[in-house]
Amino acid sequence: MLGIGGGTKFAFDKTRNKDEEADKVFFTTMVLGAILSVIFVFTGLFCSEDLAKLLGADAEIIGLTSTYLKTILIFAPAFLANNILLAFVRNDHAPRLAMIGMIFGSLLNILLDYIFMFPLNMGIFGAAFATCLAQICSILILLLHFLFKNNSFIPRKTKLKAGVVREIFALGLSAFIAELSSSIALIVFNIVIFNIKGNTGVAAYGIIANIALVVIAMFNGVAQGIQPIASRNSGEGDYQSIKKVCGLSVVFCVALSSVIYAASVIYANEIIRIFNSEGNMILAKLAHRGIIIYFVGFFFAGINISCSALLSSINCPKPAFAISITRACVASVPLVISLSMILDMEGVWLSFVFTEFIAAVLSFISIRKYLFSNQKSRNLSLD
């Protein structure tokens, strides 16, 4: 939320030659990140065990869960700073450095996970600590941007202004909801599926969810990629370029969905076998049917994520939020509950498809209204 919201506001100010204001946006965003970091660190130090219990950890895993939570939350400043810097560096004409920082951090996380957990035998703490160190290393790479000639911003000290803070939150809210929606879906789907098919059903959904998280991450990558471009074009009033960005992102997401769906259906049994080492036939059957139905929703999900990001990027946070919240809970929760009562597991899988379809209709209406109808205006409306 802070990274995308602050980065978008920064890009607007830069394209309108408000360099001092853009620098202040960066400083404001970092201060907001520091304030939230204090809350997370405090929670980690004093409330990690209570939080683990609240999230459902029982006596068997409460120690492991609280250790992991405490470690991650204590390093919250690194997580927040990394996400904020990624967005600002990307918006400051250095997407390649942002990509290098993110990829290096991710690969380092995998490597350190293995080293800390196996050769060094550091257990669950090692897994969490590896993730934290990876964030710090990513930050070090991103800080190189301040040494380059193409860097165009510096932290410029300023007082927190309610209007600027509100705009940062508004522009980043849809990105926050989009990230949150996966967690909400996991919780609701797990509860509903457990009541229908028990642990076997939950295990089947685990296969679907793991693949879905990777696919959604790809769509989020597209969304983050179009944000700096769309924000600059919006600031310059170049609506033809914004339309091209919109069209290209939608076409790319649909093409990507087609490849993923075809590959998943053709190799469904092989994919399931990776997760189903015990060869449970009931689990395999449930997961196979789930892949065929659930993955149809990807055709709409990619469109929704890219359109929501585009709307935020061109200073239209309200429709972007509407799309995100529809996907997160407004449509998904009622649909999964009602359809599962009528169609059992078929209804669970279909609920994702219908949710994304409804959000796609909203995306189409919003893009048509807020982009194409405003092409003659110099500034897009916040409404």
Domain ranges of the chain: 1-160, 171-383
Q: Does the pLDDT at position 297 exceed 80?
A: yes
Write down the pLDDT at residue 371.
78
Write down the pLDDT at residue 33.
97
Alpha-carbon distance values, 6 to 35, 96, 336 (Å): 15, 19, 34
| Cα 201 to Cα 154: distance, rounded to the nearest angstrom | 52
Write down the pLDDT at residue 382.
39
Rounded to an integer, the average pLDDT of 83-88 is: 95
| Cα 305 to Cα 217: distance, rounded to the nearest angstrom | 10
pLDDT single digits (tens) 29-50 = 999 999 999 999 999 999 999 9
| Cα 6 to Cα 12: distance, rounded to the nearest angstrom | 10
Work out the percent of the chain whose per-residue pLDDT is above 70. 97
The model's pTM:
0.80
Q: Does the pLDDT at position 306 exceed 60?
A: yes
pLDDT single digits (tens) 202-241 = 899 999 998 998 999 899 889 988 989 998 888 888 888 9
pLDDT single digits (tens) 324-336 = 999 988 999 999 9
Nearest to 215 by CA among 172, 270, 254: 254
